[in-house]
Amino acid sequence: MPVYKYKGMNADGKSVNGIRNADNPRALRSLLRKENIFLTDVEQQKSRADSAQGSLSTRRRKVNALELSVLTRQLSTLLAAGVTLVESLTAMVDQVDNEYLKLVLSQVKQRVNEGTTLADAMGQHPKVFPLLYCNMIQAGESSGALDVVLNRLADFTEGQARLRSKIIGTLTYPAIMIVMGLGIMILLIVVVIPKITKIFEDMKATLPLPTRILLGISDFLAAYWWAVLILLVLLGFAHSAYIKTEKGQLRWDRFKLNMPIFGSIVRMLAISRFTRTLSTLLTSGVPLLGSLTIVRNIVNNQILAQALDDARESITEGDSIAAPLKRSGEFPPLVIHMIAVGERTGQLESMLEHVAISYESQAENRINALTALLEPLMIVFMGGAVGFMVLSIILPILQLNEFAR
């Protein structure tokens, strides 16, 4: 269906604009007239594919977590103030800056105006509104507390985005240092060292072992750098293809959980994501079995996902949540204990929230400690590498001085 960008006047005489799907300009005019909007200008947007519903003249066709959380918070505020859903969506279409999100919201508003539920309308855009988001919206519509659920969903989205930005921000500096350090070392070995050591080779003197090792590395990289680059690219493609297989994905996820030092952080982050998401879904009124189905898709680890699948099957047979998770051996005893206490006391959502806060804090502290340890280790490594290169150059000079005497 074609997409049109329009301008018009509402019943109060104020100018309005937006984006709307319609079969033709006449159909668009008819649709807007039902909303007391009188069309003054219309422009059809070019479309690549019907699935995209028209690609606007925009460079960006993504919606980040911050934009989604702001949208959710504002929509919750409007609904809590008594504004109708269609009017709230209209206001959001006018306010958002992201043209792609504006297009999606226009389509959502149109479907809601035609009688579709908000959850179903958002479900047509899974790249913008994930399954978890749509299920919580559906629960909010069913319970009549959509504004409360939206507010809770905004808190959840903001929390996840905040945690992700903290982790990325903490790891950015060490990553930049490693890349720059390796780049400088490779530049020295390939470009600088050969020019200096060529003097010793011309003299046909017997070079010390460190110098011969350095020259061997330098000659190899200078002659076969392209082969090393091709090998790295091939290994990357092979790894990517392998982990796309079921067996490869399981082995890779198992390796990530059992990695020395980093494996515990990966497990903490996965468990915090699982517990916080499950708590948010249950608090919003999503049934337990449906919540587990959603959560298993966001842990990003097939080993833990299989454990959740087993837990779901056990629960359908009348078992508790804690028992199958304990049998899997993938969840720490503290998590199992807190879940069991929450089930017995009827405060499962609260216990899951406490677990999420605890594990997020532990993961953040562990990452900060590793980063603080990584900086001196990088200095020692780079100092050792530079020292080896300096020693490899100085030893022949000292050897020549000995011969001169």
Q: Residue 82 — left, alpha, or beta (φ > 0 → left; ψ -120 to 50 → alpha)?
A: left
- SS3 of 18, please? strand
Q: What is the pLDDT of residue 226?
A: 86
Which structure tokens are listed for 116?
């579709």
Q: What is the pLDDT of residue 237?
A: 92
Among 283, 302, 287, 291, smallest CA distance to 132 is for 291
Terminal Cα distance for the chain, rounded: 90
User: What is the reported pTM?
Assistant: 0.66
Which structure tokens are listed for 136?
């919580």
* pLDDT tens for each residue of 30-59: 777 777 777 777 777 654 334 444 444 444
Q: What is the pLDDT of residue 82?
A: 85
Residues 6+ apart with CB under 8 A from 319: none
- SS3 of 28, please? helix
Among 132, 128, 131, 93, smallest CA distance to 112 is for 93
- Cα–Cα distance, 47 to 52 (Å, whole number): 8
* pLDDT tens for each residue of 355-380: 888 888 888 888 888 888 887 888 88
Among 288, 254, 271, 234, smallest CA distance to 361 is for 271
Residue ranges of domains in the chain: 1-57, 164-405
Question: Mean pLDDT per 10-residue run, the chain (405 residues)?
Answer: 71 73 71 74 57 44 78 86 85 82 86 85 84 80 78 80 78 80 79 72 72 81 85 92 88 88 85 85 81 79 86 84 86 88 87 87 84 82 82 77 59
Among 396, 395, 387, smallest CA distance to 201 is for 396
* pLDDT tens for each residue of 206-251: 777 887 888 888 888 878 888 988 999 999 999 989 888 888 888 9
Strand 15-21 relative to strand 38-45: parallel, antiparallel, unpaired? Answer: unpaired
Cβ–Cβ < 8 Å for 231, 196? no
Q: What is the pLDDT of residue 205?
A: 64
Q: What is the pLDDT of residue 54?
A: 44
Look up residue 307 and give its amino acid. A
Look up residue 34 and give its amino acid. K
Lateral strand order in the sheet of 38-45? 15-21, 3-9, 38-45
- Cα–Cα distance, 70 to 266 (Å, whole number): 28
Residues 6+ apart with CB under 8 A from 382: 181, 185
Does CATH number 1.20.81.30 belong to domain 164-405? yes
Taking the CA atoms of residue 62, residue 68, residue 74 and residue 75 in that order, the dihedral angle to the nearest 10 degrees is 90
Distances (CA, A) of 19 to 8, 113, 368: 11, 14, 46
Q: What is the pLDDT of residue 201?
A: 65
